[in-house]
Amino acid sequence: MNRKHLILSASAALLFAGCQSMQQFGEATLGKMDPALVDAVVPGGGALAKSFQDLTPEQEYYIGRATAAVVLGQYKAYDHKEANDYINTLGQSLAAFSDRPETFNGYRFHMLDSDDINAFAAPGGMVLVSRGMMKLCQNEEDLAAVLAHEIGHIQFQHGVKAIKRSRLTSALSIMTTAAAKEYGTEQLSALTEAFEGSINDVTSTLMNNGYGRALEYEADGAAVTILDRAGYDPKALVRVLERMEATLKPGGLDFAKTHPNPIKRVDNANKAIAATSGQAAAPSKAREARFARFRAAL
């Protein structure tokens, strides 16, 4: 485990309290609940343990904010205004064509000042991409493919899917008690623990373990669909993946660590592409020029 890893784990440990007896606390709080209220929130008033699907878009947004804050604590933002405006506009144009065009607070795209090849999709819509990742793109189509893939992760809520069930059970049980405008100390403390645990689950997935092959394939599938609908060449995704294969160092700390073999993803992507028009957009001097300006800013 190298230095960067140690620092991340240490700060994660300091920042986020461990999950002690969430289940017990949840049950203790449950006892104080108004049964009518429970029935109103959960049909049948039965087991409260649910999945990420019970998180409201607003809660997903707060999880996303805190996730992005962890990423931005690890990597500095790259503040070139025009370059960020370009990827933000491109990204939001693409998101409009996804199966989830609007999240609670919408999609945002911004760069990180790192030569590592990395991209992080915070739940709720904030996408942070490294300069290293941007440099892999040779044209706007490639860039669209990278951003569309990240949109795919948000569309399918892959980030919040990483949250352990026990965190959500606790949070939901507290939600149902609240008639007061703000939480009392005990409730707030339990919610905060659940929140911290949830952020830890999400950032571990994004930054250390990766989503796993199945979810990556799902995001690739979404990317192909988005690209095709928006009018970009879906084959750009395959080009980027092949370039990644050529560039990534095995055992590296970046993309290679958190993602499955690019070549396997190529096979999967090609299957999805076969179902599309698969057409490239007509060449465009204007498009090339704006990409060149972007590239120069990296």
Partner 1 sequence: MNLSSTLKTGLVAGILMTAALPALSAQIMSVTAREAVMRATPTALGKATGKLAYGDKVESVETKGAWNRIRTTANQEGWIHNASLTKKNIQMSSGGAVDTGASSGEVSLAGKGFNSQVEAQIRNADNAAAFSKVDEIEKLTVPPEKLQRFLDSGDIKPRG
Q: In Å, what is the CA distance from 148 to each residue of 16, 99, 229, 269, 294?
A: 31, 12, 11, 13, 18
> How many whole angstroms separate alpha carbon 30 and alpha carbon 49?
12
- Least Å distance between CB 286 and partner 1? 6
Pick 128 or 241: Cβ nearer partner 1: 128
Sheet strands (E) in the chain:
108-112, 119-121, 126-130
Q: In angstroms, what is the minimal distance from the CB of 165 to partner 1?
A: 15
The phi and psi torsions of 296 (rounded to 5 degrees) equal -65, -25
Residue found by looking up tokens 């599309």 in the block:
276
- When the beta carbons of 183 and 210 are compared against partner 1, the nearer one is 183
User: Which residue, 75 or 217, has its beta carbon nearer to partner 1?
Assistant: 75
CB 265 within 8 A of CB 244: no
3-state secondary structure of 205: helix
For partner 1, the closer CB: 199 or 241: 199
The closest alpha carbon to 22, from 160, 172, 169, 162, belongs to 169
Least distance in Å: CB of 261 to partner 1?
30
Q: Quote the CA–CA distance of 176 and 189 in Å, as a whole number.
A: 16
> Least Å distance between CB 208 and partner 1?
18
Q: How far is the CB of 249 from partner 1 (least distance, A)?
A: 28
Q: Which is nearer to partner 1, 175 or 298 (CB)?
A: 175
